[in-house]
């Protein structure tokens, strides 16, 4: 075999090797990390809103062959999960681990306001976009300036407090309830900020807070809180609560006979398990969030969620979580690569098709969102929002 043939064979071998390498790179999974509670006080909420929704999205994307790159190839998602045990320090360590050891291409924002705020500096440090869903704060503007890759989708504290105040004030004006309100809150970033915002907002709306009490995150005995609220003889009860206490406060209110015509608990009121546990007693209970139950896109989402995950989706933050992942998916495919800087820029500038309609961030915030929902006829329907279509009239609660 002469020299020319040897060079030709070597070139052919190198070409095949490079082609094989390119094919392997094209099929290489995109690593996406997820950090959220699987244990600890917020594990129950994450088990409904966060983890199943992520599972559904990964299933949907991989069912299409993966994320489409600019060369036309599709790369499947490899999901890397960590339990932060509802501990901000563990959230921070897990995000660090995903960035440095696992070399994750992207990381899904954590579950819960406090855990999102705690880990925001780490997301920013490594240049990851952080599309926060389960985070409600009035500091969105300040945080967006500080962290160019953080985005907020679920709403802000003042809007939630204002919507609850407006809902109650209208009931007062219509002569359906009195103005006395018992208000309690979980002593976490979420509950503390909402209670602080609600006090002046309620007062301006003509409502009188006759009981104002906080309780620790993960509190096991909430009976004194409910008994104290009942003793104040309120016309309405408002709890800025997380999942375990939403269930606990409602159960105790029923046991203690806290009979008000406007009963509001926050996170987890929208969970199917809430209606499953309290059955007819859940009817006309108010809570955070809601959806347009007549949306065809959401009907398809709920059907797929049940089929893929084996559990029912919640009527608020679950669809928002899925929509946030659709944003990430569409931004990656628009850029056509895993360039995090370019993907972040696309999230800021782009428009996105989601199960909740068209989304476009303004100053890194989604401005239209549901604020108050209510169980009516076995569904948690939206009754107040910041400009969403499909609001239903509020109904009075008549006993347990």
Bridge-based pairing of strands 180-186 and 236-240 is: parallel
- Determine the Cα–Cα distance for residues 286 and 338; give it in Å rounded to an integer: 42
| Same-domain status, 277 and 134 | no
Strand pairing partners for 265?
239, 287
In a domain, residue 362? The reply is yes
Does residue 289 sit in the same domain as residue 225? Answer: yes
For residue 322, the Cα-to-chain-centroid distance in whole angstroms is: 9
Q: How far apart are CA 129 and CA 385, in angstroms?
A: 26
Q: Are residues 301 and 240 in the same domain?
A: no
- 14 within some domain: no
Q: Are 103 and 31 in contact (CB under 8 A)?
A: yes
Number of structural domains the chain divides into: 2
- Quote the pTM value: 0.89
60 and 140 in a single domain? The answer is yes
Establish if 120 belongs to a structural domain. Answer: yes
Residue 13 within a domain: no
User: CB of 183 within 8 A of CB of 198?
Assistant: yes
Indicate if 196 and 60 belong to the same structural domain: no
Same-domain status, 232 and 309:
no
83 and 61 housed in the same domain: yes
pLDDT of amino acid 217:
93
180, 258 Cβ separation under 8 angstroms? no
Rg for the chain, CA atoms, rounded: 24
- Asked if residue 53 lies in contact with residue 321, where contact means CB atoms within 8 angstroms, the answer is yes
Cβ(152)–Cβ(366) below 8 Å: yes
Find out whether 202 and 165 touch, Cβ atoms under 8 Å.
Answer: yes
pLDDT of residue 14: 47
Query: Could you tell me the CATH number of the domain that includes residue 358?
Result: 3.40.50.2300
Q: Are residues 257 and 376 in the same domain?
A: yes
- Compute CA distances 148 → 90, 106, 141, 344, whole Å: 23, 15, 11, 8
Q: Do 194 and 128 fall into the same domain?
A: no
Domain-located, residue 344:
yes
**pLDDT value of position 27:** 80
Instruction: State how far the Cα of 86 lies from the Cα of 263, in Å rounded to an integer.
Output: 27
Q: Are residue 39 and residue 120 in the same domain, yes or no?
A: yes
Return the structure tokens found at 285: 């209970």
Spatial distance between the Cα atoms of 229 and 81, rounded to a whole number of angstroms: 40
Q: What does each of the 400 residues of the chain score in pLDDT, given as a tens digit?
A: 444 443 344 444 444 444 444 444 568 999 999 999 999 999 999 999 999 999 999 999 999 999 999 999 999 999 999 999 999 999 999 999 999 999 999 999 999 999 999 999 999 999 999 999 999 999 999 999 999 999 999 999 999 999 999 999 999 999 999 999 999 999 999 999 999 999 999 999 999 999 999 999 999 999 999 999 999 999 999 999 999 999 999 999 999 999 999 999 999 999 999 999 999 999 999 999 999 989 999 999 999 999 999 999 999 999 999 999 999 999 999 999 999 999 999 999 999 999 999 999 999 999 999 999 999 999 999 999 999 989 999 999 999 9
Both structure tokens of 185: 């809150």
What gap in Å lies between CA 67 and CA 337, rounded to an integer?
Answer: 9
Q: Is 170 in the same domain as 133?
A: no
Question: Among residues 116, 95, 111, which one has the least CA distance to residue 43?
Answer: 111
CA dist., res. 217 & res. 172, Å (int)? 32
Residue 7 in domain: no
Judge if 149 and 83 occupy the same domain.
Answer: yes
The answer to the question of residue 398 being in a domain is no
Q: How far apart are CA 324 and CA 341, in angstroms?
A: 18
Q: How far is CA 320 from CA 12, 281, 344, in A?
A: 51, 27, 19
Residue with tokens 């602080």: 196
> E-assigned strands of the chain?
30-36, 67-68, 74-75, 77-83, 106-108, 130-132, 150-152, 180-186, 208-215, 236-240, 262-265, 286-288, 352-354, 357-359, 370-376, 379-385
User: Residue 33 sits in which domain range?
Assistant: 28-156+294-370
397 occurs within a structural domain: no
């Amino acid at each position: 075999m002469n020299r020319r043939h040897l060079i030709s064979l070597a070139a052919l071998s190198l070409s095949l090797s490079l082609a094989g390498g390119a094919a392997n790179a094209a099929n290489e999974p995109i690593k996406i990390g997820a950090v959220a509670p699987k244990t600890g006080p917020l594990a129950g909420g994450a088990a409904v809103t966060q983890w199943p929704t992520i599972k559904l999205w990964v299933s949907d994307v991989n069912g299409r062959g993966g994320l489409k790159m600019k060369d036309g190839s599709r790369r499947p998602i490899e999901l890397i999960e960590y339990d932060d045990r509802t501990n901000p320090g563990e959230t921070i360590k897990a995000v660090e681990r995903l960035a440095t050891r696992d070399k994750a291409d992207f990381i899904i924002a954590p579950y819960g306001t406090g855990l999102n705020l705690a880990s925001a500096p780490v997301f920013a440090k490594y240049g990851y976009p952080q599309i926060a869903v389960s985070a409600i704060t009035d500091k969105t503007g300040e945080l967006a300036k500080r962290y160019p890759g953080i985005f907020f989708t679920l709403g802000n504290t003042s809007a939630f407090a204002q919507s609850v105040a407006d809902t109650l004030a209208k009931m007062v004006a219509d002569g359906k309830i009195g103005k006395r309100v018992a208000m309690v809150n979980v002593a976490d970033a979420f509950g503390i900020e909402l209670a602080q915002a609600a006090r002046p907002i309620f007062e301006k709306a003509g409502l009188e807070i006759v009981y104002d009490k906080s309780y620790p995150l993960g509190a096991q005995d909430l009976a004194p809180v409910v008994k104290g609220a009942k003793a104040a003889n309120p016309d309405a009860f408002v709890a800025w609560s997380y999942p375990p206490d939403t269930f606990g406060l409602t159960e105790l209110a029923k046991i203690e006979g806290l009979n008000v015509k406007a009963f509001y608990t926050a996170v987890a009121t929208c969970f199917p398990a809430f209606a499953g546990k309290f059955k007819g007693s859940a009817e006309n209970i108010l809570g955070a969030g809601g959806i347009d139950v007549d949306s065809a896109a959401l009907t398809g989402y709920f059907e797929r969620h049940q089929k893929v995950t084996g559990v029912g989706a919640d009527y608020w933050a679950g669809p928002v979580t899925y929509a946030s992942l659709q944003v990430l998916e569409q931004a990656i495919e628009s850029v056509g690569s895993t360039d995090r800087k370019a993907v972040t820029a696309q999230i800021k500038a782009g428009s996105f098709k989601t199960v909740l309609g068209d989304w476009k961030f303004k100053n890194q915030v989604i401005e239209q969102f549901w604020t108050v929902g209510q169980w009516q006829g076995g569904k948690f329907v939206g009754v107040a929002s910041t400009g969403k279509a499909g609001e239903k009239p509020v109904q009075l609660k008549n006993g347990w």
